[in-house]
Structure 1
Amino acid sequence: MQKSDWFTRFSSAIATYAGRPITFAMAVATVLIWAVAGPFAGFSDVWQLTINTGTTIITFLMVFIIQNTQNRDTAALHIKIDELIRASDKAHNSLLDLEELTEEELCEFREKYEALARRSRETGKAKVPLEVDGDT
C-alpha cells in the first residue's frame, strides 16, 4: 500500500459524503442554529468569529479534497479517451496527448476543429475531412 492511498480513500469518501443532500441539510441547519443563537449571544464578536472560523477552515480543507478527486477523475477520463482514440481506425493518434501541449498549440487544434464544424454545417455533411499533421 502506497503512502498516498490513505489520502485517496479519505478524499473520495469525504467528497462523496459532501455531495449528498443530507450534508447540505446539515450545513443549512448549522447556519440556522448559529443565526438563532445570535440574539442570545448578543451578536457578539465571538458569535461571529465562530461561524467565520468554522466556514473558513472547512472551505480551506475542502479545496484540497476536491482538487484531489478532480485530478484523479480527470486523469482517468484522459486515459479512457486516449484508449478510444487509439482503438478507432479513423481517429488521429496525434490527439492522444493534447493536455501536454502549450496554449498556442491547443489553439491551433481548436481552430482546426472549429473550421471542421463550420464546414460540416455549411455542407450539411455529418463527416468532413480534417487535416491533422498533414494527414486526412
Structure 2
Amino acid sequence: MKFAKVAQNLALWAGSPKTFMGALILIGLWGLSGPIFGYNDTWQLIINTSTTIITFLMVFLIQNTQNRDTDILHLKLDELLRVNKEAQNAMLGLEALDLQQLEALRRHYRALGESEVFDLEGLGDKSKPKQNLNEC
C-alpha cells in the first residue's frame, strides 16, 4: 500500500505545471550550456541518460496510476449495474471472460445497437439510414 500512495503522490507532482516548467528550465539550461562544453559527447550523454532514466521510471508510475484509475472506474460501474434493476448482473463478472466470450458479447450488443437509429439532433427523424457500428 505504501507504493500506491507514493506512486499517487509522485504522479500528482509529475503532472503539475510547476514540474513541467522546471523540466523546461532544465532543458533550457542544458541547451545553453552546450557552447561551454563544446557540444561534446559527454554533454549529449548527460541529457540522453537523464531522460532515459526518467522515462523508464515514469512508465511504471503511469501504469500504476492507470491501473488504479481503471479499478476505480470499474468499481463505480459495477455499483451502477448492481443498483439498476434492469441491468444484467452478469455484466459484473466480465473480467473473468476470455477474449472469444467478450467478442461474442460485443457482437450481441452491436446487433442490439444496429436495430436502433441514432437521433443526435433531437429531430425524431427515423428515416435516416442506420449507422454501421462495425466501422470505427
Q: TM tier, shorter chain?
A: 0.7 to 0.9
AA partner of residue 27 (structure 1): A
- After TM superposition, the runs of 4+ consecutive aligned structure 1 residues lying more than 6 A away are none
Match of 2:96 among 90, 96, 100: 100
Pairing 1:79-118 to 2, within 5 Å after superposition: 79-118=75-114
Q: Which residue of 2 aligns with 1:119?
A: 115
Q: Relative contact order: is structure 1 or structure 2 higher (C-alpha 8 Å, sep ≥ 6)?
A: 1
Q: Deviations over 1:43-79 (max 9, x none)?
A: 1111001001111111111111111111111112111
Match of 2:58 among 58, 62, 75: 62
Identity of aligned residues (%): 47
Match of 2:7 among 11, 17, 23: 11
TM-score normalized by the length of structure 1 = 0.81
Match of 1:74 among 51, 70, 77: 70
Of 93-102 and 41-50, deviating more is 93-102
How large is the RMSD of aligned CA atoms in angstroms? 1.6
TM-score normalized by the length of structure 2 = 0.81
AA partner of residue 104 (structure 1): Q
Tell me how far 1:35 sits from its aligned partner.
Answer: 1.0
For this pair of structures, how many residues does the alignment match? 120
In 1, distance between residues paired with 2:44 and 2:64?
31
